[in-house]
Amino acid sequence: MDLAPPSRPLDVVALGNAIVDVLALVDDAAVERLGLPKGSMSLVDAAESERVMAGVGPDALQVAGGSAANTLAGVASLGGTAAYVARVADDTLGRFFAEDLRATGVEFSPGELVPEPSTGRCLVLVTPDGERVMRTYLGASTTLGPDHVDEALIARASVLYLEGYLWDVPAARDAVRRAIALARRPSPGGPGTVVALSLSDPYCVERHRGDFVELVEQVDLLFGNEAEVTMLWGAATLDEAVAAARSSGVVGAFTRGAAGAVVAGATDTIAVPAWPVDPVVDTTGAGDLFAAGFLYGLTHGASLEGCARLGGLAAAEVIGHLGARPLVPLRELAEGSSLLV
């Protein structure tokens, strides 16, 4: 399939976990008291979520989050159009999530609200060096299933963006499969919807490596960082992972932190440097916002290099402050850097 998507009313529709992020700046001692290894990320039950929450304190920042939702907020901040498919509960956090995401310009209609379990939340503890500890309670997100995937919504979108974290829940896997099947239907007079997948994090790849290798065969565009893509293909180096991506037929957009990003196209590899950021405050959402810039560029006629540069700009904005959503309109930054085509 040609990676250049057709022009449709929605730039991107995404499936993901609807999560309210609770972010707190903490010192190393607080992390140690809670018994949480720095840099670790894991799924927890409601009881463990409450335990960590009690140790965070009252000054935590609460924002609508979730990996794919962050990406869509970035697309909207660049001036793009986006819609989200996810589940929230009929509770305070669920209503907050819906209102906060819509305020960014993203279309979100979760349908009938779930009575229980409660809306998912992710506790993000950020230490002075910018590292983070993440503990995620999926809650109502686990109720996402194939019946929640709207055929008409997929048909409206140029790109279908899938969050790898969904693979942790069997019903959500079925939702992903249905969404891909719908995206693969050719539209009258044009190709089907481009399918993009985010690997989400190394722990997610470790849990589902075999399934992800098979899933990539149905994907046109793959997002991941260096650790994720080398783990996916059992590669010793990023160059080996790039070669594996090219052999699989997928276009790879792979981030390398301060070293920037590489795009593995059909015949060549494009390296793009990172935008300078001083200081780095919080790396939460860097990959999500890189995907946002890349997808906006893709749906608005940019070259693969231009897509990666937009992604780098969006990622740089978000790591300069606490939280995984841009605080400055990304369109203004992109226009100031002459990155919009």
Rounded distance between C-alpha atoms, residue 112 and residue 66, angstroms: 20
Cβ–Cβ under 8 Å, residues 326 and 288: no
pLDDT, one tens digit per residue, over 56-76 is 777 788 888 899 999 999 999
- Position 7 scores a pLDDT of 78
Number of neighbouring beta carbons within 10 Å of residue 278: 5
- Position 188 scores a pLDDT of 65
Q: How many Cα neighbours within 13 Å face the side chain of 271?
A: 7
Going by DSSP bridges, is the β-strand pair 194-198/157-163 parallel, antiparallel, or unpaired?
parallel
Split at pLDDT 50, 70, 90, the class of 265 is confident
Cβ–Cβ under 8 Å, residues 230 and 236: yes
pLDDT, one tens digit per residue, over 210-260 is 999 999 999 999 999 999 999 999 999 999 999 999 999 999 999 999 999
Nearest to 183 by CA among 164, 155, 161: 155
Calculate what percentage of the chain has a pLDDT beyond 70. 98
pLDDT at 187 exceeding the cut of 90: no
- Residue 295 tokens read as 């997808």
For the segment 16-35, the average pLDDT, to the nearest whole number, is: 90
Give the CA-trace dihedral at 303, 299, 161, 252, to 10 degrees: -10
Degrees to nearest 5, angle at CA 90 with 89 and 92: 95
Cα four-point dihedral sign 10, 15, 20, 24: negative
- Position 340 scores a pLDDT of 87
Split at pLDDT 50, 70, 90, the class of 2 is low
Nearest to 291 by CA among 102, 74, 122: 74
Rounded distance between C-alpha atoms, residue 75 and residue 71, angstroms: 6
- Residue 113 tokens read as 């609200």
- Angle subtended by helix axes 67-77 and 92-103, to nearest 10: 30
- Residue 173 tokens read as 């896997």
Q: Give the pTM.
A: 0.91
For the segment 103-129, the average pLDDT, to the nearest whole number, is: 88
Q: Which residues pair with 41 in a beta bridge?
A: 134
Domains of the chain: 10-17+67-108+144-336 (3.40.1190.20)
Question: 130 or 241: which carries more pLDDT confidence?
Answer: 241
pLDDT at 170 exceeding the cut of 70: yes
Rounded distance between C-alpha atoms, residue 34 and residue 212, angstroms: 33
Residue with tokens 């300069």: 320
- Position 190 scores a pLDDT of 64
Split at pLDDT 50, 70, 90, the class of 189 is low
Cβ–Cβ under 8 Å, residues 180 and 145: no
